[in-house]
Every structure is written in C-alpha cells, then in structure tokens.
Structure 1
Amino acid sequence: MSTSYLFKGGLIATFDSENKPRTFKADILVENDIIARIDQEITADASVQVVDCTGRWITPGMVDTHRHIWMAVMRGSQGDWLLTEYLIKNSWHEQGDVTVSEVRTGQLAGCLDALNSGVTTILDHFHAANSPEHADAALEATLQSGARVILSMARQSAPTKVLPQMEFGKEADSVKWQWEKLKEWAARDGGKLSPDGRVLLGFAYDQDMFNPDEALIPMHQEALRLARSLPASIITSHVVSGPRILTWRNAGLLGPDVAAMKEHGCAIAATPEDELGMAHGVPVPFNALDRGVKCGLGIDCTSINGGDIFTQMRVALAWDRGRRHEKIVKEKLPPPKYNIHNAADAFRLATIGGAEALNLSGSIGTIEVFGIHSKVLSSTRPTQMLNL
C-alpha cells in the first residue's frame, strides 16, 4: 500500500503557527503520514496515491479531549439521564457488569465512530477497567482501530454495595492489578502503546470524588506521583460544578498534567452538549479562552452523544452567545455590534486548541509542513486535564 498521498485541489481551513485562521486553496503532499509539502500545484510521481479534493474542504483532524470510547456499546440507552441517574444506573451498576467482549466491541466501534466523524485524536477516559482482561481488550481494540488515542485507564473499582452506604469491596485487588497493568503498559517504550506512538499511555483519576476526606489527601498525592513517574503522558479527572479545582489546588495535586488552572499550566476538556443535558454545570470553553486557559472540546459519553465534534462546536458557541445576550437584556445594555466569539473560535477549540490541551500541538491540530510548528511532544512530567 502507498504511504504517500497527494490531496489535490482542496480548500484548506486551518490555524497557522501564529494563531491566525487561514483558508486557502492548495495541494498537500503527505509522505509516511507526515505533511511534507503544501503548494499551489504539486505533481506527484506514480508511487503517490492522488486524492481528488476538488470542491471539498480539508481541515485538521478534530481532537476530542474527553471521551469514554467503550460506551459506544451502550449507544442510545442513556440519552435522557441526568448526572445523578447516570451515576446510579451506569457508574454504580451497569459499568461493573460489562463483559470483556462488550468492552472490546464498544472500544472498536467507538474509535471507528470517531474516525468516521472526522475525529482523529481522542483522550480516552477508560473507566471500565474491571479486570486485567477488560483493560487488555480495550487496548487491543484501540490498536486495531487506527485512531490516535491517549488511553487513560481509570484508577478505580466498581462499588460492591450502593445502599445504605457505598462500599468498594474489590478496591484492594483493583489497586494491585491496575497499578501493575499501568506499569506494564508504561514499560512499552516509555508508554508508547503502539510502535509508532499513535496510542499513548494516560492516567485517569477520580478517587478524590468518591473519597473527599482530607485525611486521604496523601493517598491522592501518592497516586499522582506514581502516575507521573510511569510516566503517563496526561492525567485526567472529572470536575462537575462545585469547587473541586480549588480542592485539588489546595491539596498540591495540580500541575501541568491536570487541566485546571492557568497558573498551573493546566487545560480544560469541555463537553458542552453533555454538560447542559446532564446538569453538570454551564459550559466554560470560551470563558476559559477569555482567561487564557488552554481548552479543548470533547463529547464525553458515547452512550448519549454522537461521535462528532461539530455538534460540540455549535452547542458551545450557541451557549456563549446566549448567555451574553441574556445579560444584555437583563441589564438593559445597548445591543452589541457583533458577536464576541465566532465560528473560527469554535473551530480552533476543536483542532489546535484540543492539541494544545493534550500537549500534542507539535504534531497535530493544524495543516502545515511538519517541523515548522513542532514542539516537544512529551516530557517526564505529564499534562493534567480536567473535564469540566
């Protein structure tokens, strides 16, 4: 099969390395999966596969900064749930009972759904690691799919009892095998779970959500220390309303590997459709950008939402405009001359914004010759992401 492609006659839409939106017509030559040349008229030799893009847009692959890929196996079953229903019915019941086969099916279908929707890079908060076999099935399906994924296995166990008081009777066993599995994966070329680095090791941590006691802060600190020592390329966690970001900050848990606060170099993964539908709180992506905080978009639960990022762009932009217009009406302010944020801002969130949030802006998120905008792709200290 050819490893070189020439995309002819398309209209390119991207952001450049100076953070400016650009739209222009050009040919793109890709060699060994890397953009080698962009020019008005490129002639290819016989070994290059030519793709006619006349009348088509060419954009960077969309970047999803927070998705539960495996939940595609549950598609359509949870669309009307609030977060409270989701936690009780899914997180504390269904999730603990999914089989290895269901996880494998959901993971493969979820990755292919993303690719079919133009999403080529995904931060996967994988929270169905019920056993070593579940974890391996997720990895196998991810590798098979061809998607670029940061596979972030969640350090948690399913509850063995919910009422009258929640109990986690399998936690001791889960702690042992999950850390062993994470170390095993990390030993693969420093966390490169595929030889080409397309699939990377991440780490998901929500234990402080279920164990908020201050006495457990040393346990949380140790968990993040271990994750950073693996190293995991990124650490991700959920934040739903409330002051949990401040709790993380005050406990010394934040760093450039947990997306949260500007002063800690963190980033936010905003999932506006899910947040509005499940009563998570209000979407914050444009608020984050206004404050200089790195931010990308995500779809969150594939059991509820479609696999595309276009919907997230539209919802985020509509919400931001709506709240601003509501303020104008309530405070009887003069009507605005134009919208503060536009479609290009939403497009940036879905592409280079997401790449920046995942610390991958040197290799994804824009359409430009590789090397012009390259940065260090990883370091001994991972990036932290908080899903807001």
Structure 2
Amino acid sequence: MSSTTHRPTTPRPTVLRGGTVLTVDSAHTVLEDHDVLSIDGRIAAIGAGLAVPDGTEEIDARGGLVMPGMIDTHRHMWQTTTRGYGADWTLTQYFVWYYLNWGKKFRPEDIHAGNVLGALEAIDAGVTTTVDWSHGLQTIDHADAAVDALASVPGRFVLAYGNIQDAPATWTTAPEFHTFFQRRAGDLEGFQIAFDVTGDPGFPEQPAFDAARELDMAVTTHAGVWGATGDDAIRLIHEHGYAEARTVYVHASTLSADSYDRIAATGGSVSVSTESEQSAGQGYLATAALRAHGIPVSLSIDSCVLCSGDLFTAMRTTLGADRAYEHLTAHARGETVTHAALHADQVVEWATLGGARAIGRERDLGSVEVGKLADLVLIRNENSPAMTPLLNPHGHVVLQAQRGDVDTVLVGGRIVKRHHRLVDVDLAAARRAAEATVDYLRAEMGEQAWHLDMNPDIPQTKVLDNPYTYTDYRSAATHGDSESAESGS
C-alpha cells in the first residue's frame, strides 16, 4: 500500500444548517430550511433545527443548496495534464494522438501527475466519486502510479483498468495483472476492467471478459461509438453471455433498437458524456432512446483534453442536447413540443444516484437520506448575483450553478473543501508535476509537432474504421470497407 494513501480518522460530527436540500430520493423531494447532520461519516439526521452533539462543526447553508456528492462514471484522469490541448479535435484526431502516436509515451509519473490533478479537480467541482477510466496503463508500474495518485486525494475513486496499447486478451490474462488487484485491494473504492469490443466476429476480447468474471469485476466499455464500436460489439457481448447488470456501456450513441433491447434486457446502464459526444463525434447523445428502452443513465466527463471537467457542464449540455433533439424530431413531423420530456430533476439524479447505481453503490451513495454515507455538496456563493433567487432548486443546479459556487464538500463526513477552497491539499505540488509532464511531452514530440498536433493530420491507416492496434478488423457499418468487413481482416 502506498504511503500516500489517505486513511483518515473518524471525522467529527458536522451539520449543514438551514439549506435547501435536494434529497434525490425516489420522489425528488426538496426540503427548504433544513439541516443535514453527519456523524461517524454517515447522514444521521435531516430536519429543521436539529439538536446536535457537543463539538459538532456547524456550517451555514442558508441561501445555499445541499445535494449529494456527484458521481462521474467515466473520466480519463491520466489525460488531465493535457487539459484543453485537443479543444478542436474530432474523435479521430483523439485516436491518432493517444492511441497511435503519443499515448504510449506517458510514463508512470505522468499517469500519477494526471490522476492527482484530475482527482483534485473532481473534488473541487463537487464530484465526490469518480471512475477513472484509465486506459493508459501500459505496465503494472503505470497502474500502481494511478492507484497511488488516487489514494492520495480525499475522495472516492474506482480504477477502471485499461491499456489501449495492447490486446485486452493479452494484458488481462497476465499473472501480474491478477496479483495487482490482490496487492491494491482496499486502497480505492473499487476496481473495474476497461476495454472495448471492435465487433471482430472472432471476438478476440473474450478472454478479457473471462478475466473479469474470474476477478468478479464489472466491465466498462465504450460502445456505440461511430468509427470504433457498434451493434456487432453489443451482439457479441450479449450472445456470448457477458452482458450483465453491472456492465457500463459508455456513450451508446450510434446503436440500433436491437442493441438497446439487449442492454435493457440484461440490466446494463449507459454513461452519457454529452460534451464529448456532441463535439468529438461519437454520435448524438442517446438519452431519448435510453429513456424509451428503460436503460439507466449516469453522466461522465470523458476527457478534459476536449471537454470541461465538471458535471455542472455535463448536466447543462445533456439537458440542452436532449431537448434540442426532441424539438428537432417534432419539427420534422410538423409538430410542436409543448412540454419537455426531460426535466432538470431527472438530470440531477443522473449526475448523482444514477452514478451510484452504475457502480453498484445506490444503497450508500447518491442521495441525501439517513443512513447513507455523508458525501455532501453545499452550493453557496454570496458573492455571485447568479445564486439568488433560488426559485427552482433542481433547475438552478443544472442551469445556473457552476464549480465556482461549490462552497463545501464532504466525503464520508470529512470536510475536503470549505469556503470555496480545497482543504489540506498541496495544489502547488500537483501543478508542478503536471507542468513537468507537459515539459517532457513537448521535448519528446518537438516543438513543431507539439503545435501542429493541436490539429493533427489523419494518417493513411484503418483508424477511421478501427483505432485499435490489436486487430485489423474493419467495419462496413462505419466507413464502408465492406470487403474487409465480410472477411474480418
């Protein structure tokens, strides 16, 4: 176990006084002028004018919103050190830069730097639990660096172990891969296995699913991604018996009704990354189809290389994109939408309880209810004219609030952000490490490539049909090489 791992003592009792509480319970109850009391890391009571134990820390939540800590189910935290570098990238350019050219250059210390900075960013923005979709783990040293980094930050993190530089059948069956989880068990909230399925009829990813079964871990996979993974992948997963309720399908943007039926029938959920989908081109967000098929939804950032790093923006863009689709399709039928199908309170649920469900933690995370872990966020900013009046609390969270309005964050009852500042964090050291990674990458690439690759050319490869190097499979469903698709070559 890393010496940097946070193992705090039992936090002192804390009460948030007089806030408007978004419980995210089954009725989406909103409680005005209520207190929330945390004792021994759990929510002990919710009510007005609560009596509290001696020595309880009191936080003034009047004029603010108290909500559950948000949960991000898919964030490539190792890429945080290249924040904004790919602001103008398409998904294909992202594949070229990370999958083909420069992702393999990241050292363990670069993974560590990205994860620390990304973890601090998440906590700062009220995201108390994050799934680190860590597909840059080329070696066990890289994986240990990822865990060490996450364990050093006082939040909840799930490592989704992945390696885009090698075949899933290879790295998931290596002995050191299995012993890694024995060594690091207990250092984080949990682990998943992260890999994609190309649709190759030979199903070369099957050994990775078997490894996940052997380790009793959930699989999280990019699915329904234009140019990479489509209906064939869902069919293979389902027909071979690997589709499970705990499987998380990321994006699921370009799938047929048959694929959604298969996901729904097996109880899987979808992590929607609207910012990325609408900008990079995985496909238009699938929330309308997911609702129609009864598929659970959670929200995620994807990568701050080409997106923001906060779930406020994710909620806002998701609500807007879903409504834009509803209007567009209605207008095409010559109709007018008079009442929006998706409401703000549903999107808040996706950002909180939806994430808890996706990682199997809905019993103790994702809502403000007695007995649950005290992962709480206070949105309050007396210096912002946008934080008053609070007329529609759910709508305010989705459409008005932002990360700068996060006053206080509790994780398991422990205060990790207070008065808009992270607590007991060496942000300067995190910034220095990130800058060292940037300096290293610029030196490796050279200044000309560093600047040109903010808009990289597309090489003459199969990248448009399949960015993965372990199989030459091309899919006629994306960019039209039907002969290769039929032969599976």
Q: Specify the TM-score bucket, using the shorter chain as the normaliser.
A: 0.7 to 0.9
Quick one: which of 205, 216, 233 aligns to 1:220?
205
Q: Give ranges in structure 2 of 5+ residues lacking alignment.
A: 1-8, 250-262, 374-489
Report whether the alignment pairs 1:200 with 2:200. Answer: no
Cα distance in structure 1, aligned partners of 2:287 and 2:348: 12
Alignment match, 1:358? 359
| Residues 21 and 228 (structure 1), Cα distance of their counterparts in 2 relative to 1, 3 Å cut | farther
Cα distance in structure 2, aligned partners of 1:186 and 1:22: 43
| Residues 102 and 155 (structure 1), Cα distance of their counterparts in 2 relative to 1, 3 Å cut | closer
Alignment match, 1:49? 57
Cα distance in structure 1, aligned partners of 2:215 and 2:272: 26
| Residues 358 and 289 (structure 1), Cα distance of their counterparts in 2 relative to 1, 3 Å cut | farther
Equivalent residues of 2:23, 2:29 under 8 A apart: yes
| Residues 302 and 186 (structure 1), Cα distance of their counterparts in 2 relative to 1, 3 Å cut | farther
What residue identity is the alignment partner of 1:307?
A: G
Range moving further from structure 2, 301-310 or 245-254: 245-254
Equivalent residues of 1:186, 1:192 under 8 A apart: no
Quick one: which of 9, 16, 23 aligns to 1:7?
16
Equivalences for residues 123-162 of structure 1 within 5 A: 123-157=131-165
Cα distance in structure 2, aligned partners of 1:64 and 1:285: 16
Alignment match, 1:381? none
Structure 1 residue 156, shift from structure 2 partner: 4.4
Quick one: which of 2, 5, 25 aligns to 2:33?
25
Structure 1 residue 192, shift from structure 2 partner: 3.0
Report whether the alignment pairs 1:85 with 2:98. Answer: no
Range moving further from structure 2, 220-229 or 144-153: 220-229
- SS of residue in 2 equivalent to 1:15: coil
Equivalences for residues 156-171 of structure 1 within 5 A: 156-157=164-165
Cα distance in structure 2, aligned partners of 1:268 and 1:288: 8
What residue identity is the alignment partner of 1:214?
A: P
Structure 1 residue 171, shift from structure 2 partner: 8.7
| Residues 144 and 222 (structure 1), Cα distance of their counterparts in 2 relative to 1, 3 Å cut | same
Alignment match, 1:165? none
| Residues 83 and 5 (structure 1), Cα distance of their counterparts in 2 relative to 1, 3 Å cut | same
Quick one: which of 290, 300, 319 aligns to 1:298?
300
Alignment match, 2:466? none
Quick one: which of 239, 243, 246 aligns to 1:257?
246
- SS of residue in 1 equivalent to 2:53: coil
Equivalent residues of 2:16, 2:36 under 8 A apart: yes
| Residues 90 and 137 (structure 1), Cα distance of their counterparts in 2 relative to 1, 3 Å cut | same
TM-score, normalised by the number of residues in structure 1: 0.83
Alignment match, 1:380? none
- SS of residue in 2 equivalent to 1:288: helix
Equivalent residues of 1:204, 1:235 under 8 A apart: yes
Alignment match, 1:327? 329
Q: Give ranges in structure 1 of 5+ residues lacking alignment.
A: 159-167, 373-388
Deviations 1:191-224 (A, max 9, x none): 4334xxxx21211122x32xx4322x3x533321
Alignment match, 1:237? 221
Cα distance in structure 1, aligned partners of 2:330 and 2:286: 19
- SS of residue in 2 equivalent to 1:121: strand
Cα distance in structure 2, aligned partners of 1:347 and 1:175: 35
| Residues 289 and 183 (structure 1), Cα distance of their counterparts in 2 relative to 1, 3 Å cut | farther
Q: Supply the RMSD in Å over aligned alpha carbons.
A: 2.2
| Residues 42 and 184 (structure 1), Cα distance of their counterparts in 2 relative to 1, 3 Å cut | same
Cα distance in structure 2, aligned partners of 1:89 and 1:75: 14
What residue identity is the alignment partner of 2:244?
A: G
Cα distance in structure 2, aligned partners of 1:19 and 1:284: 25
What residue identity is the alignment partner of 2:234?
A: I
Cα distance in structure 2, aligned partners of 1:77 and 1:116: 21
TM-score, normalised by the number of residues in structure 2: 0.67
- SS of residue in 1 equivalent to 2:68: coil
Equivalent residues of 2:24, 2:368 under 8 A apart: yes
- SS of residue in 1 equivalent to 2:23: strand
| Residues 285 and 149 (structure 1), Cα distance of their counterparts in 2 relative to 1, 3 Å cut | farther
Structure 1 residue 309, shift from structure 2 partner: 0.7
What residue identity is the alignment partner of 2:212?
A: A
Cα distance in structure 2, aligned partners of 1:337 and 1:116: 38
- SS of residue in 2 equivalent to 1:149: strand
Cα distance in structure 2, aligned partners of 1:32 and 1:182: 34
| Residues 90 and 6 (structure 1), Cα distance of their counterparts in 2 relative to 1, 3 Å cut | same
Equivalent residues of 1:274, 1:299 under 8 A apart: yes
Structure 1 residue 93, shift from structure 2 partner: 1.6
What residue identity is the alignment partner of 1:205?
A: F
Structure 1 residue 146, shift from structure 2 partner: 1.4
Alignment match, 1:184? 180
Deviations 1:143-198 (A, max 9, x none): 0011211101115435xxxxxxxxx7x995x4565x5234332465xx4334xxxx
Structure 1 residue 326, shift from structure 2 partner: 1.4
Deviations 1:56-105 (A, max 9, x none): 11011111111111111110101111111111112222110012221111
| Residues 289 and 305 (structure 1), Cα distance of their counterparts in 2 relative to 1, 3 Å cut | same
| Residues 330 and 25 (structure 1), Cα distance of their counterparts in 2 relative to 1, 3 Å cut | same
